Chain A
């Protein structure tokens, strides 16, 4: 079963445990531009400046010129470091195309540094922000004026998809009244499978005209109505008949 196939046990490949990894939080527009990046190009440059007095280096990131020009993105960003309060490990999951099934997973590395990429607040960036907000505020649906009137549908008696149904009905023929015993046998077989039936379903199963159901007194004794005032009337066998039949 495809549903449960994804549960199998897989070995976690821990050969790469020693690798050190940086975790960087990037803003939305950077992500969009990076994911849209078609080639394996460089997206930017990372500049690590280590001052002699300071313990931690300052890192700045400058985006590629091409990307900046295309999307009007800010160029300079700061990398703000955060403390890692938990142990974070990078896990390599399954294939990107989402194929279900077994795949090997491996542990890719441990996060040693955590950064946040924040663009430098210049005019360019602020303009960008303003525009994104404006775009978010506009509703998705808009009312537009149409020139031609809309379609009008008029009722029909002939429907093409119903032709097949009617043909099948005619092939089955009229329902004839059969012997009581045969009908009873069919009924009992049906009630072996389920306890509650709709009268229409019973009619379909036994292929009897519906009038005979009401007329035959034995049948009225045979069947019990489940809930008399519910929307769907279901019937089940009377207790006496159950017992005698099974005997």
Chain B
């Protein structure tokens, strides 16, 4: 109706279309459904291929439990099964190729490289009887043509992940304990492939690239370790002789061997963290008493030997705990030793392995020495004597450790005259109270924390024992020292 407002604006625009349902349509129509998240744009499709998935083998293998001929087969089984199925009315559905899922491969227009996108389209089963879907297509004359949709397919993308082939997998498997970051494994592989492809361009960024991409220092150490992996196995046995070996990585920092120090001066920081094998040091006999040894190194030795002595004492000296005044101190010590014991357990086992072999070797070596007069003046001689005494113990740990330290320290700390009296008194007291072995004496004195290293203590004890000259008895194969009290 007329109004002041412009009628043309108010009037809604009406268009009418006719809808036709064409008959005799030869084609069937299906719907393909893609998820929005996959980012599928039909207009980008360059070429595409579709095929039905071939599940025929799987279908057949469901029936294939029994062999049809040869061993295990029955005569007339198929006929009997068929007869039974007919009797009971069991229907086995036949395999239809058209019911299998679609496999769609699409080549995009935009992507230059042939990165085919693959999809799998599974038929949806839920179209009910009450609903019918029609597709309205606008024909050229403006009319709509309605076509019914028969089936719906849900298409999902298929990913194929790159995997390592057998050789690469073996390599990585060897490193499996050391790899921290698994993502970089495949990334490195990809980078290497790219670099090989670029090799013609002469890019030599491989080395720097791998360094640039190390996500932690561990990566750096890994790559260095790879080169040393071969050396590891050879050196391992020899390494067991080095008491410096400790389990676990933190201990590597503690190690400051002369050879390694030299390496470090070259400017490579990664070598600090390597495991024991060093081409430089491989096979070399290690002298702990080198003139070049510095104090920190020496401290390390003491620290290590202290721990080792603690282990030995732990196992050998349990009877001490019951009978002494220094019970508290002993327990303290034992606690400390227990902590160390965990670390040293593996070493202990290794040492035990070696000790048996070493014992036999060393006993041969010691024999000529035995002929020498026991009463030597120099402290090193006494140390040897003491060690020999200890060596005769069947307690295999102590001698093994002593053996690993070749020749003993060259410059033992001088026995201070002021201390010696104190020690002598103590030792006398112990021996009067009850017969002890030398190891026991050593442990007692160590627990005193006199500030001497265990080697020094050993020397001191040797000297004292020489002075005291206790009586020696052999009980259960161990040499016991005792002092008869003067009072009777």
Contact = CB atoms under 8 A, between A and B. Distances in A.
A9 B51 contact: yes
A201 B54 contact: no
Interface in B1-58: 9-10, 12-23, 25-36, 40-43, 45-54, 56
A92 interface: yes
B36 A86 contact: yes
A232 to B, nearest CB: 8
Given A46-B144, A87-B42, A14 B26 contact: no
B187 interface: no
Given A5-B97, A42-B20, A21 B129 contact: no
Contacts of B74: 194-197, 234
Contact of A40 (B17, B22, B40, B95): B22
B31 A23 contact: yes
A201 to B, nearest CB: 5
Contacts of A17: 42-43, 45
A91 B30 contact: yes
Given A10-B50, A10-B51, A50-B13, A196 B73 contact: yes
A18 B483 CA distance: 110
A100 B151 CA distance: 17
Choose among B28, B76, B96 the residue with the greatest number of A CB atoms under 10 Å from its CB.
B28
A37 B23 contact: yes
Nearest to B39: A87
A68 interface: no
Given A17-B42, A87-B33, A107-B42, A201 B48 contact: no
Interface stretch (A24-32, A180-188, A216-224): A24-32
A88 B32 contact: yes
Contacts of A195: 70-74
Contacts, number: 230
B40 A105 contact: no
A194 B75 contact: yes
B136 A21 contact: yes
Interface in A20-58: 20-28, 30-31, 34-35, 37-52
Nearest to A50: B13
Given A92-B29, A195-B71, A198-B75, A40 B47 contact: no
A36 to B, nearest CB: 10
B28 A95 contact: yes
Contact of A42 (B18, B46, B70): B18
Nearest to A20: B138
Given A6-B97, A48-B17, A194-B74, A92 B28 contact: yes
A61 to B, nearest CB: 7
Interface residues of B, number: 74
A109 interface: yes
Interface in A177-222: 190, 193-198, 201
Contacts of A97: 26
A159 interface: no
Given A11-B48, A31-B132, A47-B16, A89 B75 contact: no
Chief secondary structure at chain A's binding surface: strand
Contacts of A201: 75-76
Given A107-B48, A195-B73, A90 B14 contact: no
B43 A90 contact: no
B23 A40 contact: yes
A40 B20 contact: yes
Contact of A43 (B21, B50, B131): B21
Contact of A12 (B29, B49, B132): B49
Choose among A18, A24, A40 the residue with the greatest number of B CB atoms under 10 Å from its CB.
A24
Interface in A84-117: 85-97, 100, 105, 107-111
Contacts of A38: 23
A4 interface: yes
B29 A93 contact: yes
A109 B16 CA distance: 23
Contacts of A50: 12-15
A51 B56 CA distance: 57
B321 interface: no
Given A47-B14, A93-B27, A7 B54 contact: yes
B134 interface: yes
Contacts of B22: 40
B180 interface: no
B115 interface: no
B302 to A, nearest CB: 74
Interface of B: 9-10, 12-23, 25-36, 40-43, 45-54, 56, 69-76, 94-98, 100, 104, 129-138, 143-144, 146, 148-151, 153
Closest 8 CB pairs of A and B: A6-B97, A31-B132, A12-B48, A22-B136, A93-B28, A87-B34, A9-B51, A196-B74
Given A34-B148, A195-B70, 14 more contacts: A17-B43, A26-B132, A26-B134, A28-B132, A40-B22, A41-B20, A45-B18, A45-B19, A48-B14, A92-B28, A95-B27, A96-B28, A108-B29, A197-B75
30 contacts: A6-B98, A12-B48, A23-B31, A23-B133, A26-B132, A28-B132, A30-B132, A35-B148, A40-B23, A42-B18, A43-B19, A43-B20, A45-B17, A46-B16, A46-B17, A47-B16, A49-B14, A50-B12, A50-B15, A85-B36, A87-B34, A87-B40, A88-B34, A89-B42, A90-B31, A94-B28, A105-B50, A108-B137, A111-B31, A195-B73
